[in-house]
């Protein structure tokens, strides 16, 4: 989306937190695993990256923004 001179837009600004960004990174890697394999990324490397990020996230407190986002996200199909 591009806001041009004179346009009115509504945006939500927030400072991304480690927990929020880590969660999205891990999700992106997991979701795109097939695509990563298609460009010759070793699936073990991608899985290890997700596990490392999750281990880090398990050690930090979930911030209010992430907690509120989790509260409204739909349940996973897994």
For residue 19, give the nearest of 75, 52, 62, 55 by alpha carbon: 62
10 Å Cβ neighbour count for 57?
18
- pLDDT above 70 coverage of the chain, percent: 94
The pair of structure tokens assigned to 7 is 């346009």
* pLDDT of amino acid 57: 95
Confidence of residue 77 (pLDDT cuts 50, 70, 90): low
* pLDDT of amino acid 76: 66
Section 50-74 average pLDDT = 90
How far apart CA 71 and CA 58 sit, in angstroms, is 18
- Tell me the per-residue pLDDT of 1-39, one tens digit each, with 9 for 90 and over: 688 888 888 887 777 899 989 998 999 999 999 999 999
Q: Is the predicted pLDDT of residue 78 greater than 60, yes or no?
A: no
């Amino acid at each position: 989306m591009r806001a041009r001179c004179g346009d009115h837009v509504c945006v939500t600004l927030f400072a991304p937190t480690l927990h929020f960004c880590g969660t999205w990174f891990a999700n992106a890697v997991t979701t795109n695993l097939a695509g990563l394999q298609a460009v010759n990324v070793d699936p073990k490397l991608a899985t290890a990256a997700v596990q490392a990020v999750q281990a880090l996230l398990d050690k930090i407190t979930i911030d209010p923004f992430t907690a509120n986002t989790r509260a409204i996200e739909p349940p996973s199909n897994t």
